[in-house]
Structure 1
Amino acid sequence: MANIRYELIFSTLNKSKSLIDLNIHNNLEKKYEYIKQIILNNEEEILTKDEKLEAIKLLNNIFDKDKILYNEGTKRICENCQKECLAITYCEYCIRNYLKENFSNWTSENEDIDDLIRKCQTESYAPNGIIEWIPYNNLRNITYLTKGGYSEIYTADWIDGEYFQWNNQERKLKRFGKQQVILKRLENGESNNRNWFDEVRILT
């Protein structure tokens, strides 16, 4: 596959979204089909064939997330769990079940944090962006960056990387591989730790 120009793909997707007429494309499926046709037709021939395929792949991922997030769209029966799911490229229930089955394989050794992560995982609606506990031994090259507020900021390499894709054949989540992450080290103090926990709980 030739080099994929992702900046151009994202630019095309954003431009396509800006052309949507809400009076005509008044639901998610109509919006999706409209953007898809713009990409495929691509009259200006800006995108290569491979880039069009990648753009459609990204569009499918966005569409799947939006369908579940807004609980809108045509449902299908998952061939694995037999539940009615909204996503096309994966099943949101299979992802949640997979995460539940792995609850016993990790712990932060703090029940409040574990409960929060479990709650987030049981409500996951996509194979990426999943909240999870990262063991310290899965981090490398931890480097101090700066200090802000009540915490110190570090960068590090996460060896396994985040979940990013559901494998229908193996019925499991696939990881991205090594990626850089930002770490926040809280200063000692129960109030600071409590503030952090409350902030995360509100955001999730």
Structure 2
Amino acid sequence: TFKSDIYSIAILMWEISSGQPPFINYEHDYYLAMNIVNGIRPKIVLGTPLEYKNLMKRCWDTDPSKRPDIYTLVDKICEINLFYQSQSNVQLEENNSLEINNSNSLVNYAISTSKVHQFENFPEPRNATEGIILIVNLLSNILKNY
């Protein structure tokens, strides 16, 4: 559904801000899938811009009706992007001092393997649209300019 696509964008937002896949320290199994269905979300990285964080939380809300539609999402991402592009270089340099601790994640990521899980009633996979690719590029640009 379109609302599940918005959730997926929130997860991509988290991956972009953290620099790692979500739930890297969890076994990717039925129990993780059920925890996600029951509302567990990745912990937001310290230093993530407030507007970005709030948008990400709206997009992964457990109630799909509270998630923004794609047009609202694109407008908000563009607004955040323009804000950070308009900041002076001094402010950007101060904001770019954010450090993310990836010491454990690289090791965990290197040894993780793909697994196939069979769940009933999951939608068929499909390719990303040009709109999704545009959104991911805008999100990357926001964090690069932050």
- TM-score interval, smaller chain: under 0.3
- TM-score, normalising length: structure 2: 0.27
Higher relative contact order (CA 8 A, sep 6+): 2
- TM-score, normalising length: structure 1: 0.21
> Which one has the bigger strand percentage?
1
Indicate the structure (1 or 2) with the bigger Cα radius of gyration.
1
> Which one has the bigger helix percentage?
2
